[in-house]
Structure formats: C-alpha cells, structure tokens
Amino acid sequence: MGLISSVFIATSLDGFIARTDGSLDWLDKANANVPAGEDCGYHVFMESIDVLVMGRNTYEKVRSFGGWPYGSKPVVVLSSNTIKIPEDLSQTVSCSSESPKALCECLTQEGAKRLYVDGGITIQRFLAENLINDFTITVIPVILGNGISLFGKLEADISLRHITTKAYDWGFVQSTYEVVRT
C-alpha cells in the first residue's frame, strides 16, 4: 500500500531492548562512550519518517524521561485502553486501539509515507502482520541475560535482505535489513 514501516532500535548482543523492568541503564552507560553530537543516524532517520507509532509502555517510558523528544512529529500510541494525553501534547499525540493493519490503512489515507514503529510489543505485532519493511538495529556490546526481547514468536520465518552495516569506534554495530516479501 505504499506505506513504509521502519524499526530503528538498539539492542544488547542477546537481543534485548530493555531490562525486564523497562530499564535502559545499560544503554545510557554505553551512550556515555559516544562522542558528543554523534547520534548513530537517528536524526537522519527521524527526518525521513512522517509518523511514530509506539505502544503504551514505550510512551510512558518516554514520558518518564521528562520533556517530549518528538517535537511536532505526529505520534500514535497504540493501546487497548484509552490513554489520557496531556494538553500540551494533544496537537501531535493521539491514541489508537486499531490493529496495525487498520492503523496503516488509516495513516496511508492521511498521506503518511513512512512510519517509525517503536517498542517491543508494537514491533512484534506489526511484524506478525507482515507490516515491517526495514530494521535498523544498533547492537550494543553487552550481554544482559534477561529483559524485553526485540523479537517474539512468529508463525513462519522472515527472510531479510542485508542492506548495510556500520561498526562505530565505540563498539556499536548498526545493521539495516529489509524484509523480503514472499
């Protein structure tokens, strides 16, 4: 349907995006070694997307940092329950209980070209519905042993096309893959 859905995320070497309690201390610790002004392609990626879609957990995690990092970029929070969006975000943040497929159709009609799909459960839901087009995964040089996984169970294998890999001097390894449609 012309809409591109993309994932841009950091994981531990063992594939976790957060500790079991949602904590990102390991990522913060790793980021302390990153040179000032370096964002591993995040800004360029953000410029390419029209809408962010995330789950309630990710929304609440981002809110807990204080401030709001997405500026005027439209954000859809997926949740089966209604979320009270604060007044100051109400122009850009909306809540939806639609399925990934229904949401994609709706956003396509509204003119969106590229979505940023974020958060473990949301990514897994989109992937299960065959709605993710590409992944950019930045592997942090740490093994956590426990946590919230980027990937979950699937009905069938998903074949990927490797696009590019970049190893940064501070040990992050960022790879981009496209999903091969079957």
Interface residues with a copy of itself (CB under 8 A)? 13-15, 26, 127, 135, 137, 139, 141-146, 149-162, 164-165, 167, 171-173, 175, 177
Q: With contact defined as beta carbons under 8 Å apart, do 127 and 153 qualify?
A: no
For the bound state, the minimum distance from the C-beta of residue 38 to a copy of itself, rounded and expressed in Å, comes to 15
Locate 63 and state its tokens.
Answer: 């809110």
**Where do we find the tokens 């939806």?**
96
Separation CA 92–CA 149 (nearest Å): 28
Nearer to a copy of itself by Cβ, of 83 and 158: the residue is 158
Report the nearest approach of a copy of itself to the CB of residue 131 (Å): 14
The nearer residue to a copy of itself, 94 or 130, going by C-beta atoms, is: 130
Min dist. Cβ of residue 177 to a copy of itself (A)? 6
Check if the beta carbon of residue 158 is closer than 8 Å to that of residue 179: yes
Cβ proximity to a copy of itself: between 107 and 150 the closer is: 150
Q: Looking at beta carbons only, is 83 or 128 nearer to a copy of itself?
A: 128
Closer by beta carbon to a copy of itself, 86 or else 152: 152
Torsion-angle region of 38 (φ positive above 0: left; ψ -120 to 50: alpha; else: beta): beta
DSSP, res 145: S
Give the shortest CB-156-to-a copy of itself separation in angstroms: 8
Residues 6+ apart with CB under 8 A from 155: 128
DSSP letter for each residue of 27-45 = HHHHHTTSPTT--TTHHHH
For residue 10, the minimal CB distance to a copy of itself (Å) is: 14
